[in-house]
Amino acid sequence: MFEDRIQYFLKLTSMEACRNTARSDGSALPSLKKAEEGTTQYIPLTDPAMLPDLPCNLMEVFECRESVRTYTKQSITQKELSTILWCTQGVKMELSNGKTYRNVPAAGGMHSLETYLYIQRVESLEEGLYRYLPYEHVLVMLETRNTIEASFLNSFPNRSMVEQSAITLVWTSILERLSYGYGARSLRYTFLDAGHVCENLYLVAQALRLGVCAVGAFEDEDLNAALKLDTQEEVAIYAATVGKI
């Protein structure tokens, strides 16, 4: 029964299940910064200090926030892309132990999430798959659109929304960062953290007058394979499309 599975999950991830962890055993903190890919060429984004203020009525942003599933063919500007990434995963301060203060909360400040972007229409950027490096606030290109398009799009049952988008963000979780301190309970926290990030995306998109729609429906194995993830360490858990409206 489905209800039995829920009860089993809740028991598996109870507070009792996170008492004996790598942290409690005195193990070293895992790296909170993913290694860069080979010979990395950074693609700089607009410095957060140079991003313009977004004058908006906060209550209006909350009231008007909605999911938008169709987009125009107009490109997103690089400044808009920089704003989106800064507001969803931007690092405000790096601490001596490698932890960071960011624009979203995260369990234990461990920030297990990584951000991948399938870019189709951003001014002056080649179409393809990218990864956001939050410590440096830059992008790195992983694959061109020609090599990634079919496998990426086929990962989504509702692929038309992804095909129309200017960008599709995929958030992955490096599970060791959370399991270090929370054991099996980290299975709850990583999805909660992703929800915080996606809600920030909705709010900044509304302020920028962009459309956004969260996407939870994707074929896990196919998307992990398209992103070339080592699923023993990192898995895709959430996505969202963004475009001009």
pLDDT value of residue 55: 84
Instruction: Please name the residue ranges forming H helices in the chain.
Output: 2-12, 58-64, 78-89, 145-153, 159-164, 176-182, 186-208, 220-226
Helix (H, G, I), strand (E, B) or coil at 117: strand
Instruction: Report the amino acid identity of residue 104.
Output: V
Query: What does the pLDDT look like over 151-174, one tens digit per residue?
Result: 999 999 989 999 999 999 999 999
Determine the average pLDDT of the residues in 132-140.
Answer: 96
pLDDT value of residue 38: 67
List the one residue out of 145, 158, 32, 169 whose CA is nearest residue 88. Answer: 169
Q: Domain 41-244 has what CATH class?
A: alpha beta
Kindly give the pairing relationship between strand 100-102 and strand 138-144. Answer: unpaired
Name residue, tokens 């692929």: 159
b/e string for 27-65 if b means 16 or more Cβ within 10 A? eeebebebeeeeeeeeeebbebeebeeeeeeeeebeeee
Name residue, tokens 């169709």: 70
Q: How far apart are CA 46 and CA 149, in angstroms?
A: 27
Q: What is the domain partition of the chain in residue ranges? A: 41-244
User: In sequence order, what are the residues at sequence separation of 6 or more whose Cβ sits closer than 8 angstroms to the Cβ of residue 120?
Assistant: 127, 145, 165, 166, 167
Query: What does the pLDDT look like over 41-88, one tens digit per residue?
Result: 899 999 988 888 888 888 998 999 999 999 999 999 999 999 999 999
pLDDT value of residue 51: 87
Which conformational region is residue 183 in: left (phi greater than 0), alpha (psi within -120 to 50 degrees), or beta?
left
pLDDT value of residue 18: 87
Determine the average pLDDT of the residues in 228-242.
Answer: 97
Average pLDDT, the chain: 94
Please say whether the beta carbons of 49 and 90 come within 8 A.
no
